[in-house]
Amino acid sequence: MKLSRKLIMIGIAAAAAAAAIILFNISAGMNSVFRYVLIVGIVFLALVFEYGIMHSASAAVVSDAKKLKTADDYIKAFEAWEYEDTPFTDQIKMANKQLQSLKRKQAALRAVLDDSKDSPFLSTAADVERYILANSKRILNRVMIYDQGEPYKYQMHAQYLQGVLGENAKVLSDFENLILEVSQIGDDSTAATPCLNELTEALHAVREPEEQWNQLMGGQQ
């Protein structure tokens, strides 16, 4: 658990204790049983609130990866991990920003195409989304499997994450160039689109996760 969350929980506990003492003193004229019930109730509510803070983010973090289908799903998962005690916070934030960038670029392309549902460029946009989401899954998997009890493996995982983020950055840059190109030619699939070729090559250049893992693990032997 991050220090910020610990401080919040300590603050809640201190506030609950102070409230309990104050209520105990101002309720001196009340029935003693009622006074103790009131104090216990306040402490109980504080504990429930702290429990919710402690587990709300963690619940999203450990959610079944198969349930993560959209960019918004992965954004929520990455946001949850930002509250966890992990050395990969910077990489997680960057992955989140890339997903936000993907959504903005998709919206820009739809605007350029005037919400056309038949444009061939939308198929390419869908390929870009699948690519980024697949890499998002790889990032989450690598963050989750890292064992902080084995710090000597940190560099291996960090290099992997940076590589995946670099792939995303390349594809998003090519995607942006394609959108600029499309904005100039409109929805003309017969027009020359050199940026489309670059983007297609970038998408096909991605290696399968198993191959990446085997190469990384082989380099450690």
- The pLDDT tens digits for 25-79 are 666 666 666 666 666 676 666 666 655 554 444 444 544 556 889 999 999 999 9
Dist. CA 206–CA 26, nearest whole Å = 68
pLDDT digits (tens, 9 = 90+) for 155-214: 999 999 999 999 999 999 999 999 998 888 765 555 566 777 778 777 776 545 445 544
Residue 128's nearest CA partner among 203, 189, 180 is: 203
What is the distance between the alpha carbons of residues 54 and 9, in angstroms, rounded to a whole number? 9
Rounded (10°) angle between helices 154-185 and 194-204: 160
First to last CA, the chain: 33
> Domain locations in the chain?
3-61, 69-220
pTM of the model: 0.66
